[in-house]
Each structure stands twice: as structure tokens, then as C-alpha cells.
Amino acid sequence: MPKSPTDIAMDFVSRIDAHDIEGLLKLMSENHRFVDGLGEETQGKGNMKKAWASYFSWFPDYHMFIERTFANRQWVALFGRAGGTYAASGKYRPEKNLHWDIPAAWKARVVAGLVVEWQVYADNEPVWKAMGVKRY
């Protein structure tokens, strides 16, 4: 029996939590579309490979906690929290408060067993603050 879209989306979350870029790529369609919490888009497996590598270097302990999921055919909504610690210049700085933990939601579109779209909904302000970036 094939996996449900929810199962595929949760597999995707597991690969993110494991920082398993190759595992993520296996679950993505060739034309995979990623939309971050600010509405910025990245498309295609090659671009996503680079994007995830950068993200995991910035936040080497990035993790997601999924509390609820809802699905309707090929669409899956996931609700929970995300968190991590910003590693400035690739190094943890425990003396600084660079950790963040935020409520978040994700929307996945799964077609033929592959994630064709992954969108994040979250307040990025705590992340920017940890990074020392002033957005406004």
C-alpha cells in the first residue's frame, strides 16, 4: 500500500530533523517549490540542496515539533514549533542568546509520493534577532 501524503510529509520532517539533505532530495519532485516565512521562493532540487546546506550550517540544531496535521487529498497542513541556535560563522556561541523557538505551520503538496511544494508560515523576527539582523 502506498504511503499517504501525510506519511510523506512526516517523512520530509524526519529528514529535516536529521539534517539529511540527500534524504530530502529523494522526497522532492524535480521542480520542487519551497516558500519561506517571508514569501521568498526557491525552486528545483539543485537550488534546494544548496539552500538546505546553508540553512543547516546556520542552524546546526534546527528541529521541528509537529503537534497536529490535517490532510485533504494531496495537501497536508502541519502545525507545531520550530527552533534552533544560530551558529555565527559556523560556530556555536553559548555565551550569546542565539537560540530561538517559534510557533510555526507548514503546508505540503504531495503528488505521486513526492513533495512538490513546501511552504513555511512563521514569525521570523526571533530568528532575525538571534542572527543579529535588523529587518525594520
CATH of the domain at 62: 3.10.450.50
Q: What is the pLDDT at residue 26?
A: 98
Cα 91 from chain centre: 21
Number of structural domains, the chain? Answer: 1
List the chain residues with pLDDT less than 70. 89-97, 135-136
125 and 15 Cβ atoms separated by less than 8 Å: no
C-alpha span between 55 and 64 (Å, rounded):
14
User: Does 41 fall in a domain?
Assistant: yes
Residue ranges making up the domain that contains 20: 5-131
User: Does 136 fall in a domain?
Assistant: no
Which pTM was predicted? 0.90
